[in-house]
Structure 1
Amino acid sequence: MDTAELRRALEDAELSPYQADAYTALLRLGSASATGLADACSVPTARIYDVLRDLEAKGYIETYEQDNLHARANEPHSVLASLRGKADRFTAAAAEIEELWEQPAVDDHMVSIVKRFETVFDRACAIVREAETEVQVSATTEQFRQLRPALATAYSNGAIVSVSIHTESGTNASELPDTLSYESVATEVRHRTLPAPFIVLADRSRTCFTPHERSVNQYGVLVDDYTLTYVFHWYFQTCLWEVWEPMYDARPTEPPLVYADIRRFVREMEPLLTDDTTVRVSVEGFDTGNGEPVSFVGTLTEVSYAGESTSGEPPLSQLAGETAITVAVGDDVRTVGGWGAVVEDVEANRLTVEALTSAP
C-alpha cells in the first residue's frame, strides 16, 4: 500500500483529508514543529493548529511546547486496533503504520532517537552486513548470538571485527560462547565483566547505541555521521576494549598483518623499527587534500605521536593525540594518519604489513 492509499484508508477510518495527511506526514517525521509539519504536507499553515488539536483529541498524536508548538505520533495501539477491525485495505494500512512507527527517519538527519531496542538491533544487523573495513561491537552473550550471522557476513567481506562481550561480574565461563562460535565471525573478542551499552560501529560512519539494561532511561541512538561515530569509537576503545584481556584472537602472527587502527599499528611496529626491522607496508585510504581514494606500497620509515616514546609498546594514552607514520615510496615520502587525519597527506583506513625483514 502506498502513502496515498494509506491516507484514503485513514479517511475511511473517520479522519478528514487534512487530518489523514498530517498524521501520515508526522509518522514519517517522528516529531515536528507545527509549521514544519505544514510544510511537509498539504495542510495550510493557518489550519495546521486546528488539525493537530483534533488529532490529539482522537488520541493519534500528542503536542508539546518547545519554543513553539510541536507534535509527535503516539504509540499507535488504538489506531491499529481500529484499522484491523476493517476490511483488507484497513489491515494493510495498519501494517504500514506499524512499519513507519518502528522505522526511524534517518534520511535527512545525522542522529535519530528511537524508543525500541528492536529498531536499533535491526539497523545494527543491516549496517554490519554492509561493512567492508571495520566493525566494533559491544554486546551481551545473547545479543552476540543474534548478531552472529551479520558479523559472519562482515568478516567474509574482509572487515576487521572486534567484539566486546559484556556479562555480569562472576559469570561462569561456560555461559560464554565457545571458541567455535567466533571462527570466521570475529577477528578478536574480549570479555568485559561489567554491564555495558549495546554498541555497533561500522566503517567509521555509522553507530547504533542503546544504554545498558540497568539504565533508568531506555532509548536508542542511530548515528549516520563520521565525526560522531569517532566519539563512540573512543568510548569503545577506552572503556570496552583496551582494559580487557582477549579471549579469542584470530589475527595472524606473520605477514600479511592487517590493521584498521593506526594506533594499534604504531604500537606494534615501533619496537620493530627500533630493532632496525624493515617494514614493508601497503596503505589504503584517502588523500586529505581532495578526498580521492589512494593506495600505495612502501617502506615504513618513522612513527610519530604526541606522547613521549617508551620502551616496548606505547600505551594507548600516549597515542591519544596526533599519531602518524611516514612511508617511503620510491623517492617520494608520504605522511599517513588515521581516522580524522588533517595534517597528514593521507587518511588510512587500512594498513597491511606485507613483509618484515630483520636487520642482518
Structure 2
Amino acid sequence: MHIKHLKIVNFRNYKSSDFDFSEGVNIIFGPNGTGKTSILEAIYFLGISKSFRTSSDRDMLSFSEEHFHVFGEFYNSKKQKLLVNFNYQKDVGKKAFVNGEKLEKLTEIIGKIPIVILSPEYENISSSGPLLRRKFLDRVISLTDREYLKKLIDYRNILRERNELLKDYQRKAFFDYDVLMEAIDERLVDCAVYIYTARRNFLREFRGIVRKEMEELSGRVRIYDMRLDRESLEEDYKDVLKKKLLENFPRDVAIARTTSGPHLERLSIIFDGKDIRDIGSQGEQKIALVAIKLAEAEFIYNRLKERPILLFDDVFAYLDENHRQNLCCKLVSGCQIILTTTDKGVLAYFSKDVTVEAIELDVA
C-alpha cells in the first residue's frame, strides 16, 4: 500500500495544501513547528479514522474554522486505486467516503489502508503502563481480524452496560446475583473468550518477529519476550471467567466496576528477564519500540499480504549512530516510508542506490 497524493484543508496549521509522495522513502524536512507531524496525522486519520495525537476531532480544526477536509489517493500492491475522503463539520461530526461511497460505519475503514505509526506523541508501549499496551494489542489485531474488532466493540458496550447496572445495584444496596446480571455476563463472556484467544494467538506469532527485528536492529542477541498475565490458552477460560464474575460480584457492586475480564489484562515486555519499563535504559526502550513497530509492519503483511505505510515521526532522535544506520538498511524492504526530521544529515544513512523523495517545509 502507498499514498500518492494528500490534500488537507483547514487541518491544523494548513489552510489548503497538497503533497505528493513516492512509493519508497519520503523524508519531510523542516524546523519544529512547521507542521511535519500534522502531515503524518492526516495520513493516519485517513487509515484509522482517528488522530494519534488527540481524542477530539475538533482539535484538528484550523483556528476559527468550522470544518476540515482530508483526501488521500492510495494504491495497493495490485495497483488498485483507493480514494479516501474525510469531511469533518464542527458540532456535526465526520463522514468518510471510499471511492465515492459513504461508509455507514467509520470502523469499515479499518484494515483498508494498513498503517504503522511511530511518534513521540503516540503509544510508547515499551515504557508505558497496562492501558496503552492493551490498546496496542487491540489495534494491531483489529487491523487484521475484523471479527476481533466486532467482538471488542461488543465487549466494551456490554461492559459499559454491566457497570451501569452495578452502579444501580450499589445505590439500592442490592447484592444478589440475579437473572439480569447473569444474562449480561453470558454475553460478556462470549466476547471475552474470543478476545482472550485472539490475543494469545497473536503473541505466539508476534514475539518471534520482534526478536528477529531486535537482533537485526541491535546486531546482537538478547533475551526478549512479550507475554500476558495468563500466558497459556485455557480451554476452560469460559468457565473460569464465569466463576470469577460470580465470585467478585459483591466487590463489583461495592465499587460499581467490573474487576474481571480482558479489559484488565496486563502485557509484559520482557528484556533480560524483567519488564523493560522497570530495568531498560531509555536507549534500550527506544530500540525495543522501533523493533516492535517494524515487527508490527511484518505481522500486518503476513496477515493481509499488503505492505503497510510506515509513518515515522522524528525516529532518528530515538537512536544512536549505529542503530540509525541499521534502521535505514531495513527501511528499504518494500514498505512506503514517510519520515519526519529536522536534520538533513539523515540522508547520509541511506545507500546511494536508494531514491529518497525530500519534502521541505518552511516556517510560515
Global fold match (TM > 0.5): no
Which has more helix, going by share of residues?
2
Higher RCO by CA contacts (8 Å cutoff, separation 6 or greater)? 2
Q: TM-score range by the shorter chain?
A: under 0.3
Q: Give the TM-score of the pair, scaled to structure 1.
A: 0.27
Q: Which entry has the higher C-alpha Rg, 1 or 2?
A: 1
